[in-house]
A = this chain, B = another copy of it.
Amino acid sequence: MSLNSIFQYFVPKDRKVFFPLFEQAAGNLVVMSNVLIEAVNTADLKKREELYNQIDKLENFGDELTHQIYQELSKNFITPFDREDITALTSAIDDVADYIQGSVNRMSLYKVEEISKSMISLSELILAGSLEIDKAIKELKDLKNVRAIADCCIRINNIENQADDIFDRAVADLFLYEKDAINLIKYKEVLAALETATDMCEDVANVLETILVKNA
Write the residues of chain A forming the contact surface with B, with a CB cutoff of 8 angstroms.
1, 3, 70, 73-74, 83-84, 87, 91, 105-106, 109-111, 168-169, 171-172, 175-176, 178-179, 181-182, 184-186, 188-189, 206, 209-210, 212-214, 216
Contact across chains for A70 and B181 when beta carbons are under 8 A apart: no
Closest to A175 in B: B110
Please, which residues of chain B bring their CB within 8 A of the CB of A186?
A: 175
Please, which residues of chain B bring their CB within 8 A of the CB of A210?
A: 84, 87
A210 to chain B, nearest CB (A): 6
Q: Which residue of B91, B111, B206, B216 is within 8 Å of A206 (Cβ)?
A: B91
Please measure, in the bound complex, the distance between the C-alpha atom of A126 and the C-alpha atom of B83, giving whole angstroms. 30
Chain A interface secondary structure, helix, strand, loop or mixed?
A: helix
Contact across chains for B171 and A214 when beta carbons are under 8 A apart: no
Q: Which residue of B83, B109, B206 is within 8 Å of A168 (Cβ)?
A: B109
A83 to chain B, nearest CB (A): 5
A209 to chain B, nearest CB (A): 7
Extra 17 A-B pairs, beta carbons < 8 Å, given A110-B175, A185-B185: A73-B213, A83-B213, A84-B214, A87-B206, A87-B209, A91-B206, A105-B168, A106-B168, A109-B168, A109-B169, A109-B171, A109-B172, A171-B189, A175-B185, A181-B182, A182-B184, A184-B185
Please, which residues of chain B bring their CB within 8 A of the CB of A175?
A: 109-111, 182, 185-186
**Which 3 A-B pairs rank lowest in CB-CB distance, beginning with the nearest?**
A181-B181, A109-B172, A181-B182
A-B contact pairs, 28 of them (CB 8 A): A1-B3, A70-B209, A70-B213, A73-B213, A74-B212, A74-B213, A74-B216, A83-B213, A84-B213, A87-B206, A87-B210, A87-B213, A109-B169, A109-B171, A109-B172, A109-B175, A110-B171, A110-B172, A110-B175, A111-B175, A175-B182, A175-B185, A178-B182, A181-B182, A181-B185, A184-B185, A185-B185, A185-B188
Please measure, in the bound complex, the distance between the C-alpha atom of A150 and the C-alpha atom of B187, giving whole angstroms. 39
